Structure 1
């Protein structure tokens, strides 16, 4: 009993550290990025403005562009997205969307995204717990402390994009799918998954990938479920009813919007046909498939989507090294564990292992479609599979025994420092040759320009550092508790 309470206490302490680390770095992103945001922020802000005024944006034209003090022409790049994120943002910021006070609206929406990002930390921890057959708390904390510190995720958590809400809903849907496979497809769980599915499809079209995995998981769980024992007619009826709910509810909630996209562009995922964009060269599908960046993006862009200097190398090089080491550690662990693998592996547990990977593969397919033509290869489009990154980094760190806590803290610190490096690069208007410390200082300067005392930046930096230390300490304690529990069971 005492050991269980001690384990629970250190788990909560570790998760508090993971939340503190993310919250500090995400607030730095929200408060230390210029109010104009990154390239597409203005289109998302315009979408919020139009929803606040009872409209959906058309594919062409921006009604609210504070950068020019009025409306502007050209493509409305956010118009292909469903309206849920923008409706939620309009509720909290719509009244501030005037050319005299738009900065306040930007701040409110950024803080909303920080909340979504913080909720994602907890959702990632939940999925990690469900994915761990041995229920290792150290693993749960390590996953939660690493995955959400992905540089682009931190950046978008402090900006105006719908990707963070998408990531939260995708992670929750993956968790519901795994729980369904573990505990059986109960009606409350089906209703919850259907509601998340509806919200996801009203957030971004790529949620269809996660929904497909959830439907597959429900089918497996339904056919393998042994409780209660029903006759085949009743069991078949229950399966059809549950599958129907999971399919129909998201469809009914979002079909109207995707029908609009089809009417506008001929494609349910776009509001306008593919056309030349920003001087980018046109790429065929084979061009994209022949680009090594397409395959490396998930590991190459961990520490930033654009290649910039970091720790004497490039952030992409450090990303690949960090990811490579993690994958090697997992491979060594898997080889060593093979003789001890359980013989009671079920179809459900195979699907549980493959579900997050299936989401990642689906996101790669969506990335291929997006990059074909005039699109880009960007880790942002793989956000729904954020949990996979956590399972890799968190899993690798916790294979190191008594230094697992130190390893996790080090990974978190490197990822946080990379995020600061990237935010500083943006704050200095992206010049080459600016060092890491100067970039970090420029973030503080940007926060001062936003009317905040410089001390607030320093406090957030201290909170981030202390939170990483707390994560490391908690994992170290949890590893010792788990080692003692394992020894006593033998």
Structure 2
């Protein structure tokens, strides 16, 4: 990766961190029940125990909204092991607000790590030299949902980092075959996913199946069998005890209590057909770019996500044709995204919420698809399937043949960025809660509470806007330069791997 690419990637990481810090500062402490429950989990881990659903919260900060039960108790403990050294000492010293802000800032760091992970995973999907991974990293950095989940005490971003890493390993196995380092990485990442978030395990399973198919396609039967056995053993050894505990306490592996939610939270069960036919499902679930209720949510869904996805589908319509070795690295993330949608819509049938952050385990496939559409509009030659994802053959470009030098093209990514940042500014200016479920101020019927750090939040937001402008400029330059450069040669056919 050359200096311009490193510069663009560094700016994208800074954008993600700045947006997450903005979220962390703008939202008043303890305005979301999930946040204080996650904080309590970390505090209990610091004291050497795990929470129990029916026992409620042990850490009960003054002025905090306290949920009636410990509804994060079903989550595996990895995230809370990371939080415990930050939360425990501060909470014990009587500074729960400081503990909360420390936990939020750790989430901001994880947002930057997620951008790096998406870039790395996308590089396994894309052709060598393609700008697509950098565009995907930038798209991830601009995601409102990434910032909201990272700037709130939630375990979603850590789970997304791990599933994205696992996806990157799987597509490399699909493309190049199993090697010792890739196999070791898959085993470690799978075990970490099992300890991070239960729902991410299904996406992890898709990635592992893809890696196994990659090993078989490359005629590595013995290595694939060894990988399967090692992964199962590692997951059982590291996380089996926790899921056995869930079964003992709740009767289910997931540890969820859907009946309690139906009874006490006003939720209702629906059929799968009702969920699938509900427009709100498709307006809300995949929307990674909506900050708050000022700009209508369909704007984010249609303009920021829908249009790039349609363009990507048109310009890359042949990527699933060709030899299995070339199709599999693209098919694995696609199937992972479809499975994630299926899992969340099924979850909604029992009264579960449809929150965009639940799609973060597949943020990489979504970011890659959005990046492919934006790249095709900005620099049509990058819409060539051979340039983008390394498959055989080319496809038509959006806007027709030729140099693709229409002046409007260079403004596509800046315009997309401007809509994202305008939504952020309106959210900050109005002080209304966004899709993370937290409020920027205490409700009117709660006169006593902690104020949001609105002034520092605006400073962070201005910094994020400046960084986003610089990152956008750098990415557009790389896209335009890539469109003008000679085509890179296709990957040579790999040698036949050993069957061992």
Q: TM-score, normalised by structure 1?
A: 0.83
Take 1:85 and 1:290, find their aligned partners in 2: how far apart are those partners? Answer: 35
Question: 245, 253, 269: which one pairs with 2:254?
Answer: 269
Corresponding position: 1:66 with 2:64: no
Pair 392,277 (structure 1): closer, same or farther in 2 beyond 3 Å: farther
Match of 2:167 in 1: 174
Aligned equivalents of 2:198 and 2:480: distance in 1? 44
1:369 to 334, 342, 346: 346
Q: Is the 8 A contact 1:264 1:271 kept in 2?
A: no
- Give the deviation of 1:96 after TM superposition: 0.7
User: CA offsets, 1:422-459, max 9 Å, x none?
Assistant: 4555x4568xxxxxxx99xxxxxxxx95679x4x5454
Question: Which of residues 68, 74, 85 is equivalent to 1:91?
Answer: 85
| Counterpart in the other structure of 1:482 | 482
* Cα distance, 1:420 vs structure 2: 4.5
Distance change in 2, residues 1:449/1:379 (3 Å):
closer
Contact 2:186 2:208 (C-alpha < 8 Å) held by counterparts: no
Q: CA deviation at 1:475?
A: 2.6
Corresponding residue number in structure 2 for 1:254: 239
Within 5 Å, give how 1:48-447 maps onto structure 2. 48-60=42-54, 61-67=56-62, 74-98=68-92, 100-137=94-131, 139-225=132-218, 236-272=221-257, 274-275=259-260, 276-300=263-287, 302-304=289-291, 308-310=293-295, 314-334=296-316, 345-400=322-377, 401=379, 406-422=411-427, 427-428=431-432
- Unmatched 5+ residue regions in structure 2? 380-404, 435-439, 442-449, 491-500
Q: Alpha carbons of 1:419 and 1:170: their partners in 2 closer, same or farther (altered >3 Å)?
A: farther
Deviates more, 1:126-135 or 1:411-420: 411-420
Listed one character per residue, the Cα deviations across residues 272-313 of structure 1 (whole Å, up to 9, x for unaligned) are 352323222333444323423234434446314x7x221xxx
CA contact (8 A) 2:258 2:350 kept: no
Q: CA deviation at 1:135?
A: 3.1
* 1:114 to partner: Cα distance: 0.8
| SS at structure 2 position matched to 1:34 | coil
Partner of 1:469: 469
Name the CA distance, whole Å, in 2 between partners of 1:350 and 1:166: 26
Aligned CA RMSD, in angstroms, stands at 2.9
What's the offset of the Cα at 1:269?
A: 0.9
Deviations 1:135-194 (A, max 9, x none): 312x22211111243222211111101001011111111001111112221121111111
1:16 has 2:21 as partner? no
- The more displaced of 407-416 and 354-363 is 407-416
Instruction: Note if contact 2:37-2:67 (Cα within 8 Å) is conserved in structure 1.
Output: no
Counterpart Cα distance in 1 of 2:204 and 2:328: 15
Structure 1: which 5+ residue stretches go unaligned?
A: 1-6, 227-234, 431-437, 440-447
SS in 2 for 1:64: coil
Evaluate the alpha carbon distance shift between residue 286 and residue 26 of structure 1 in structure 2; reply closer, same or farther with a 3 A threshold.
same
Q: Which whole-Å CA distance do the structure 1 matches of 2:226 and 2:11 have between them?
A: 42
